[in-house]
Structure 1
Amino acid sequence: MKLSLKKGPLYIQLEEILKERIISGKYQKNTLIPSEQELKDEFGVSIITVRRAVEQLSQQGYVEKRSGIGTTVLENNAISKLSKGQRFSEYLLEEGNELSKEFVELSVIEGSSHSILKDYYTGVKLNCIERLYKLNGKPYIHFKHYIPQNIVLPKNYEHLQNSLYEIMYQQGIRFHRFKDEFGVGTPNEKVAQMLQIEQQPLLQRFRFSFDLNGNLAEYSEAYYNTNIHRYVVNFDM
């Protein structure tokens, strides 16, 4: 598999591929991932690119590199280790589903204009990143992510289909706490069309992501078409 610079930095592309292999179970927990040389040969990249991708995974808690042994897949990751809950995307992949992301639109809003964010970002401009998740090729989740404009986004907006947490992590943001709230809401006509459904009440999730200082670093709103798949929360005992 050859990577292309047209899709963004090579190490980020490689990191995303390795991360998906870990989540899906292709690289199982407590086992070694392929060596640097094997990854270099498979993806046609330099050893430096491989090491940088693995380093990113290590910093997030996916893997641990040990001298003379290799790189081992760990039991947790930088986001899900904050609780005993398994991330929903991990669950879907482990079930054998195909989960893809599409960038829809980037807009700018005033924090004070948002009914929830006005309590956190009065007088602050926010980037609103709209994305669509597809489950096995079918529109499944519509997301709106709100991020302060001091976070530099990729010049090629198509790269926004990749992990937004990773973009923020690379710029020094360290997440400390996540809070999810759930409700039922009816999406507007535009969102309903993207989900390829009639306007109807859907499961709605609101996520608050806080940094080490307790500040709100990212906020998102999502509509789930649970007729395709129910929302599942798994807890390890």
Structure 2
Amino acid sequence: MSLESVPPKYAQLVQALQRRIESGDYPPGSMLPSENQLINEFGVSRPTVVAALRVLREQGWVESQQGKGRFVRGRPAVTGAEQPRPGQAYLTAPEAASPGEVVQAGAVTVPNRIAALLDLPSKNKAFLRRRLIGKDGEPTEVVSVWVPLDLAEGTALTQSEPLDQGLREHLHSRKGVRFDHVVEQIVARMPAAEEAKQLGMPKGAPLLVVYGAVRDAAGKALAAVEVLLPADRHELQDVYPIG
């Protein structure tokens, strides 16, 4: 299993505490549990807890008051300004909301990187659904999603028409699974000849490739996403606070 496909322990703790803040278990103004309490409850080391609390403070979820402890501030307002990442947008938005066509749908032998993201042995098969998305009559990106074969059974992923749901909602309604988090990686590389042709890319233009490992709350792999973005037509933007 690829170590990159699972969030580090401090990131998992950050996500757990964020969910508690959002659910009201830790309401704004309340005191966060102490480091020792978090160590005992989650079974992690002190450096893991310290790293998670630092992230929460830097992102604006909590604040430290010297001599008193850490207090909950709530969900930072800046998170609402964040733009959906390419992988996230495909998982949540209905396919029908973006112009494109399904160019491949079926069981395939997964590439090594995708096998690692899905926790599959090398040369195993998974279900692939690939769409070529365009804008103003020109191709802009290729979005591929791989799903374990048993999870694809009984779904509409095999159909050539665009889904009227996002992948997350569709798999939840058909299979009862819940997406909890995505581990995203972005790399730059030169396109393969077929990719360059499919996207109408000029010679020498690089690709931005977004990989997403989709997991449930227990860390089980549910899907892997790959988004191919011609670098000369896209830029990736993020918004985050500075503590």
Q: Give the TM-score taking structure 2 as reference length.
A: 0.52
Q: For 2:183 and 2:81, locate their aligned partners in 1 and report how far apart those are by CA, in whole Å.
A: 14
Matching residue of 2:137: 137
Retained in 2: the 8 A contact 1:106–1:129? yes
C-alpha distance in 1, partners of 2:238/2:98? 17
* Aligned match of 2:219: 214
Q: Is the 8 A contact 1:99 1:136 kept in 2?
A: no
Closer, same or farther in 2 for the Cα pair 1:172/1:236, shift >3 Å?
farther
* Structure 2: 5+ residue stretches without partners: 1-74, 90-96
Give the fraction of aligned pairs with identical amino acids, expressed as a percent. 17
Greater relative contact order (Cα < 8 A, sep 6+):
2
Structure 2 counterpart of 1:137, one-letter code: G
214-223 or 119-128, which moves further after superposition?
119-128
Question: What CA deviation, in whole Å up to 9, does each residue of 1:78-107 have, x standing for no partner?
Answer: xxx8x984304699xxxxxx9423211113
1:197 aligns with 2:194: no
Where is the strand percentage greater, Structure 1 or Structure 2? Answer: 1
Give the aligned CA root-mean-square deviation in angstroms: 3.2
For these two proteins, the number of residue pairs brought into alignment is 149
Q: Structure 1 residues 224, 183: closer, same or farther in 2, change over 3 A?
A: same
- Is contact 2:184-2:210 (8 Å) kept? yes
How far, CA to CA, are the matches of 1:202 and 1:116 in structure 2?
17
Cα distance in 2 for residues equivalent to 1:124 and 1:214? 20
Larger Rg: 2
1:228 aligns with 2:225: no
3-state SS of paired residue (2:162): helix
Q: TM-score scaled to structure 1, two decimals? A: 0.53
| Correspondence list, 1:155-174, <5 A | 156-160=159-163, 163-170=166-173, 171-174=175-178
Residue ranges of structure 1 left out of the alignment (5+ in a row):
1-74, 76-80, 92-97
Please point out which of 58, 82, 87 is paired with 2:84. Answer: 87
1:91-136 CA-to-partner distances (Å, cap 9, x unmatched) read 9xxxxxx94232111132235xx21243411275301111112234
